[in-house]
């Protein structure tokens, strides 16, 4: 649980999660999207992997990262438990869409 929130506490990592929502991506594709050195992105991916928010598998010469929702559901359950039921949450789903802050 700790690792999940920690992982999501960095804007780059949340952005990666957002991107993977559209389907699996290679490490290189992800790295390209950010104005930072590739190894830095790799480090972020490592954090996400340790939090079990993504998994990775080799695909030929590249490595494909893919979203895993199970861990995120835990975080969601925590929030629901802490801050009340999901009432009104669906309506906020709209408001949130512009999140995606860049690095």
Site string for DNA, 56-95 (x = CB under 7 A): x-x-xxxx--------------------------------
Stretch that binds its own copies, among 4-12, 32-40, 42-50, 57-65 (CB under 8 A): 4-12
For 102, the 3-state DSSP assignment is coil
The C-alpha atoms of residue 32 and residue 54 are separated, in whole angstroms, by: 18
The count of residues interacting with its own copies (CB under 8 A) is 43
Give the dihedral sign, CA 47/43/25/56: negative
From the list DNA, its own copies, none, partner contacted by residue 22 (C-beta under 5 to 8 A by kind):
none
CA distances from 74 to 4, 41, 77, 81 (A): 9, 25, 5, 10
The C-alpha atoms of residue 16 and residue 68 are separated, in whole angstroms, by: 12
> Does residue number 8 form part of the binding site for its own copies (CB under 8 A)?
yes
Give residues in contact with DNA (CB under 7 A): 6, 9-10, 12, 26-29, 31, 36-47, 56, 58, 60-63, 103
């Amino acid at each position: 649980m700790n690792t999940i929130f920690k992982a999501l506490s960095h804007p780059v990592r949340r952005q990666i999660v957002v991107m993977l929502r559209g389907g699996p991506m290679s490490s290189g594709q992800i790295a390209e999207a950010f104005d930072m050195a590739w190894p830095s992105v790799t480090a972020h991916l490592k954090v996400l992997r340790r939090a079990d928010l993504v998994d990775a598998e080799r695909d030929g010469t590249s490595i494909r990262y893919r979203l895993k929702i199970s861990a995120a559901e835990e975080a969601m359950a925590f929030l629901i438990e802490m801050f009340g039921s999901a009432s009104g949450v669906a309506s906020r789903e709209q408001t949130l869409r512009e999140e995606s802050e860049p690095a």
